[in-house]
Amino acid sequence: MGKKYKNPPIVEALCEFQFVPSQPWDITIYGMLYEKIKDEFPVKQQQVGFGVAVQPREGGVLEPKIEFGPPQMQFFSNDKISLVQVGPDLLTVNHLRPYPTWGKFKPLILKIFGEYIDIANPKGFRRIGLRYINKIDFDQHEIELMDYFNYYPSIPNNLPQTYKTFQVTVEIPYNNERDTLRLTFATIIPEKPKVLPLLLDLDYIMIIPEGIALNELPDWLEDAHTAIENAFEACIKDNCRKLFEEVK
């Protein structure tokens, strides 16, 4: 991001909108939106929300119980690399690896957003999030984090400095706290043995409901993208750039 990489670590980019509705949710919105976007996103799939709640039983035993959330519709491209998700007052545009560049992703977001507001006519934004999820795989048993990253956990000197798992998250306010950049760096499940995967998740969020008007979205997206690019480059060192094969 910002700089060009031959092997970029982005596994998913997404833009999520939560809306302040102008009227109660109308289930025909799913079908109307699908009609508009089906040439690009023809594959339909219902996403059933599961949650695990803990409920008490006799004797004070706590027992997990599955709970179901409201369904969402997912509309995939034929190659299943990009998708649109729709739920009550919720719209998400996702792009999985390979990421197509911001020059292509931003117009896609704006196009789907335009179709949605024509149909659903929301009053405004409750929340907007532009998010880039990066997975960096190391084919090594151990690494020195500070050789690759500028952002990592700080362990007090009197504790062992070798560790197996971690997760650090900070939220950095932007634009007088209207927006926040949630920056998460963590270990995740390895897909293969002896691989050390790290997750760098950059989520730029407008947290103040109706903090911008609907027509201000293009500028907000640009600012969000710039903040994410800068944060990404700030978090990594040249050793990472070598792994991603920077194109100069």
Q: By the criterion CB under 8 A, which residues form the site for other proteins?
A: 11-12, 14, 16, 47-52, 57, 63-64, 66, 69, 83, 85, 90, 92, 94, 96, 131, 133, 135, 138, 140-146, 152-153, 155, 161-167, 169-171, 173, 177, 180, 184, 186-196, 201, 207
Q: What's the min distance (Å) between Cβ of 22 and other proteins? A: 22
Amino acid at site 123 = K
Give whichever of 170 and 247 is closer to other proteins, judged by the CB atom.
170
Backbone angles phi, psi at 4, to 5 degrees: -95, 140
Min separation Cβ 133 and other proteins, Å? 5
Q: Which is nearer to other proteins, 27 or 61 (CB)?
A: 61
| For other proteins, the closer CB: 78 or 247 | 78
In whole angstroms, give the CA distance from residue 230 to residue 2. 7
- If the CB atoms of residues 144 and 247 are measured against other proteins, the closer one turns out to be 144
Of 184, 189, 225, 180, residue with least CA distance to 201: 184
Which among 246, 248, 217, 220 is positioned nearest to 232, based on CA atoms?
Answer: 246
The answer to whether the beta carbons of residues 127 and 211 sit under 8 Å apart is: no
CB of 248 to other proteins, least distance (A): 29
Tell me if the bond preceding 98 is cis, omega within 30° of 0. Answer: yes
